[in-house]
Structure formats: C-alpha cells, structure tokens
Amino acid sequence: MKVMAVNGSPRKTWNTATLLTKALEGATSQGAETELIHLYDLAFTGCTSCFACKTRDGKSYGRCAVKDGLMPILKKVEAAEALILGSPIYFGNVSGEMRSFLERLLFPYFTYTDPPQSLFPRKIATGFIYTMNVTEEMMKEWGYEQVFANNQRLLQMVFGSSESLWSCDTYQFRDYAKVVADRFDPEKKARRRREVFPRDCEKALAMGARIAQNGNK
C-alpha cells in the first residue's frame, strides 16, 4: 500500500507540511509506505491545453503528455493506492502551484462524455487538507467551503472517494513583531497554535489512517 502526499505550500515545515506529515504518520500506522512531495521543488506548468490526453486513438489518451518536472509525480499517482493533497489558502483558493497540479492531475482522466467519466483505472482514496489565516466563521462567510466542496467533488469523480479537512487561524509568521500585520493579535495566534493546532494534527493523523484503510475501495 503506497500513500502519497503532495504539499502545495512553498514552506516545507510549516502548517500544511506539518498536517500532511501527520496524515502520513496515520497512514504508516496502518502499514502503508508513504512519500511526501513538495510541489515547489518541481519545475512545471499547469495544463497547456494541448488535448493530447483527449485525442481519439492518440498515444497519450487519458494521460498528460507534457514533459516537465510533474511527469514522474503523475506516474507515481498512477501506482499509488491513496493520495493526500495539502494547500494553504491564497486569496480564497489553493496556491497557484496546487492549482496547476490539479489541472494536470485531473484533466487527463476526466472525459468530455455525457455524463463525464473517469479514465483512472482504479478506485483510490483521496483527501485534501487546507490551511488558512481566517477563522472558521470567516471561512464560512467568505465562501471557502464552496472551493473545498468543488475539489472534493472532482477528486471523487476521478478517483472514487475523497474527504476534506481544514485548519483555520494558523500561525503564519515566525516572529509577528517583525512584520506589519496589525490585524493579528500575536498572543491570540500563539494560543491558537498551542491549543487548537495540535487537535488539527490529531484530525490529520486520523484522516491519514482512514484513507490508508480505504485504499483501493
């Protein structure tokens, strides 16, 4: 059982990466082999609209034909039994790199038939972890849940099953005194980090274990 995680934050040890690492720990507890990929280590673009993946009788039908740093990762997904994505929220959506990754990951498997179908050859379990500055109330008020629901729907459609987890009001800066960010109360942020973030880590751990258990269902 191979469980892959993909980090859509440029930071390799911060909120998103920490939660993904916890999720992989959960997967390991179920006997899975795991790997964490950092998207910002790779040179790649979003979908180039070449349509090689949609060309009738084409040799790349159902597969992304773009040859860049993402190619080996997309191959690994083909062989994985579970996939966990993670992204910070940047201006109300996932990071640009995660967005580009999603285009390349999903579009080749997603057919323009009516109804749409998936060309992914198996069913695998997937999950998405989001981290953000806003509180849970603001997340709801600003419609972020719609973004999460849309990604969940697409992942379910292509891969079979998907669940979402979010961590709000994250600790963003190493030292709040050094940045111009008067909107945030550093003490409140530190308290949240101490008291709530560990609970989010537990949720990520449980999610990883569940996803590893559900593998190819």
Ligand X SMILES: Cc1cc2nc3c(=O)[nH]c(=O)nc-3n(C[C@H](O)[C@H](O)[C@H](O)COP(=O)(O)O)c2cc1C
Nearest distance, CB of residue 165 and ligand X, angstroms? 13
Helix axes 144-159, 96-106, angle to 10 degrees: 30
| Nearer CB in complex with ligand X: 172/214 | 172
Where are the alpha helices (H) located in the chain, listed in sequence order?
15-28, 71-79, 96-106, 136-141, 144-159, 186-195, 197-214
Place of tokens 């993402």: 70
Q: How is residue 53 written in tokens?
A: 């993946």
Interacting residues with ligand X (CB under 6 A) = 9, 11, 14-17, 88-92, 131-134, 170, 172
Closer to ligand X at the Cβ: 26 or 88?
Answer: 88
Q: Residue 42 Cβ, how far from ligand X at the closest point, in Å?
A: 17
Least Å distance, CB 8 to ligand X, is 9
Least CB distance to ligand X at residue 91 (A): 4
Under a CB-based contact definition with an 8 Å cutoff, are residues 125 and 105 in contact? Answer: no
Phi, psi of 204 (to 5 degrees): -65, -40
Q: Which two tokens stand for residue 204?
A: 């990520």
Minimum distance between the CB of residue 149 and ligand X, rounded to whole angstroms? 17
Closer CB to ligand X, residue 53 or residue 94? 94
CB nearer ligand X, residue 208 or residue 215: 208
Q: Which is nearer to ligand X, 37 or 64 (CB)?
A: 37
Give yes or no for a contact between 96 and 8, defined as CB atoms under 8 angstroms apart.
Answer: no
Is the CB of residue 33 less than 8 Å from the CB of residue 122? Answer: no
